[in-house]
Amino acid sequence: MTEQIINDISLPVMESFYTLQGEGFHQGRAAYFIRLGGCDVGCFWCDVKDSWDASKHPMHAVNYLVSEVKQTPAEIVIITGGEPLMHTLDAFTAALKQAGLKTHIETSGSSPLSGNWDWICLSPKKFKEPLPEILTEADELKVIIYNKTDFDWAEKYAALVSPACKLYLQPEWSKAAIVTPLMIDYIKANPKWELSLQIHKYINVP
């Protein structure tokens, strides 16, 4: 991909910040987050509903975003949303990799896969199910548990991802006090799963 093409690409950005990854396999690692605007999944318990309308967020050139990351010691860049795969991300990941950065994405998998990724975290949602093409590409399956029926939902997708995919159950934040004890019992009975907690909310970082 030519430098001119990369220079011409812009994306709607709700927010970006350098922090610690709070969830899943890379929990506790320093990472630069870029939250893209736009989402057509519509989870009623979403804690970033302001991200849904891409038109509300400023467009930033890919090279500008890379330069912002390079002002920090970050080695990992996590693209999230919203639903980041609503945008074609090939040029963005090409620019990030050219700058020597590792590329991670957090996605529901509801839109076609684009970009070149070092780590794909798939978090499927009942509101708009993931496309089959992303299931075998996922490095990490993270299922949000809101009620007891979500365990069956989790098993449905655990059977579809690759054998090497890491499996995580994570309590929906507002229901954590209720569902976490259920999750502990479930993981003890089904040890292929691991517990993911949103530690960034406990330690008060973005």
CATH number of domain containing 80: 3.20.20.70
Judge residue 183's burial from the number of C-beta atoms within 10 Å of its C-beta, 0-12 exposed, 13-18 middle, 19 or more buried: buried
Cα–Cα distance, 86 to 106 (Å, whole number): 12
Cβ atoms 105, 121 nearer than 8 A: yes
- The pLDDT score that the predictor gives to residue 206 is 85
Classified as helix, coil or strand, 17 is: strand
- The pLDDT score that the predictor gives to residue 34 is 98
Least confident of 47-51, 60-64, 116-120, 127-131: 47-51
Cβ atoms 71, 83 nearer than 8 A: no
pLDDT score of 40 more than 90: no
Cα–Cα distance, 120 to 105 (Å, whole number): 5
pTM: 0.93
- The pLDDT score that the predictor gives to residue 28 is 96
Total count of domains within the chain: 1
The model's confidence at residue 121, banded by pLDDT at 50, 70 and 90, is very high
Domain limits at 76?
A: 3-202
The crossing angle, in degrees rounded to 10, of helices 62-69 and 90-98 is 40
pLDDT tens digits, one per residue of 83-114: 999 999 999 999 999 999 999 999 999 999 99
pLDDT score of 47 more than 80: no
